[in-house]
Every structure is written in C-alpha cells, then in structure tokens.
C-alpha cells in the first residue's frame, strides 16, 4: 500500500531510489472516477520499474482542465483511493494544469501515460529522455474513460 506524500518528501524518495539503483516510475492524471482503464495504466507503470509515484491533479487544476462540475471526487479521496492500490508507492498532489515542473524536478527513470496521448505531446517527456529515461505509452481499452462513465450515468439516471 502506498502513501500520500508532499512534494519535498517525494523528491527525497526519488533521490533514495537513485542511490539504491531502483527504477522510479511516474505517471499523472486526474483519476476522478477510478476505473479499469486507470488500472491498466497503473499496472503497466508498476511493471516498468520498482517504485511508482502518481502525480494527482488538485481539485482546482481538474476544474481548469475538465470544466465546472469536475472533479466529482475530492482530491483527498482520490489520493486515498490511489494510495490504497497495491501497485502504487506514492501519491503527490500538484496544483498546476500540467506536471511539467514536478517531472522536471523528479526526473523519473520512466514516465508512463495512457494511449490517449501521442508520444510527442506528453508533458515532461523531453526532460525524462534528456536525463536518460524512458517514456511509455500504454494502449487504452476501448470504452473505458471517466467521460464515458459520466455519460452513461447521466443517460441512465438523468440530470
């Protein structure tokens, strides 16, 4: 089981991983309604290394990215859910719209994103590659998305 940490603690954990020769993997997202598509990405991310850290958008940054009405689940609850997953070691909140600054600071060995991102559009990919790291894009399972779940709920239960 992982833990929710502050950025400074995660930076220290990253440094420790480097000293111990452990592969440090990073992914990020809103994870508003956790679903099997998220699990696919997180499983693949954990398989790519020894320690998995998730950068989690704060409520304010989710609103900026996804619009009013989102997130549906508050940041503290989203962080708690993610940290409870066996493949997750660390969860850190970030307030910016992208994790570029955090990725630059951490310089993970591996950066993982879901297949809805094209390799050339992944925030932080250049910094990771410049530091000798790897960027992995995990194919998405069709029909699994938070937006799709919300649409089904609205269709079934109305507004």
3-state class of 154 per DSSP?
Answer: helix
The tens-digit pLDDT sequence of the chain (159 residues) is 899 999 999 999 999 999 999 999 999 999 998 988 899 999 999 999 999 999 999 999 999 999 888 899 999 999 999 999 999 999 999 999 999 999 999 999 999 998 777 778 899 999 999 999 999 999 987 666 777 777 777 888 886
Q: Domain with 110 in it: what CATH number?
A: 3.40.50.620
Cα–Cα dist 138/35, whole Å: 15
Query: What's the structural domain count of the chain?
Result: 1
- Which residues are registered as beta bridge partners of 54? 27, 91
Confidence (pTM)? 0.91
Number of H helices, E strands in the chain: 7, 6
Cα–Cα dist 88/56, whole Å: 12
Please enumerate in sequence order all residues whose Cβ is within 8 A of that of 149, keeping only pairs 6 or more positions apart, or say none: 33, 35
Cα–Cα dist 89/82, whole Å: 9
Domain that holds residue 110: 3-157
């Amino acid at each position: 089981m992982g833990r929710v940490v502050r950025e400074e603690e995660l930076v220290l954990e990253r440094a420790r991983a480097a000293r111990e020769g452990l592969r440090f993997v990073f992914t990020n997202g809103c994870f508003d309604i956790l679903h099997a598509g998220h699990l696919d990405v997180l499983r693949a991310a954990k398989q790519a290394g020894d320690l998995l850290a998730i950068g989690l958008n704060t409520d304010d940054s989710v609103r900026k990215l996804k619009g009013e009405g989102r997130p549906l689940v508050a940041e503290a609850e989203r962080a708690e859910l993610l940290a409870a997953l066996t493949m997750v070691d660390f969860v850190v909140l970030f307030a910016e719209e992208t994790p570029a600054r955090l990725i630059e600071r951490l310089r993970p060995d591996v950066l993982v994103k879901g297949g809805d991102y094209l390799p050339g559009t992944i925030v932080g990919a250049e910094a990771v590659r410049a530091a000798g790291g790897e960027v992995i894009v995990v194919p998405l399972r069709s029909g699994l998305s938070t937006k799709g779940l919300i649409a089904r709920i609205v269709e079934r239960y109305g507004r």
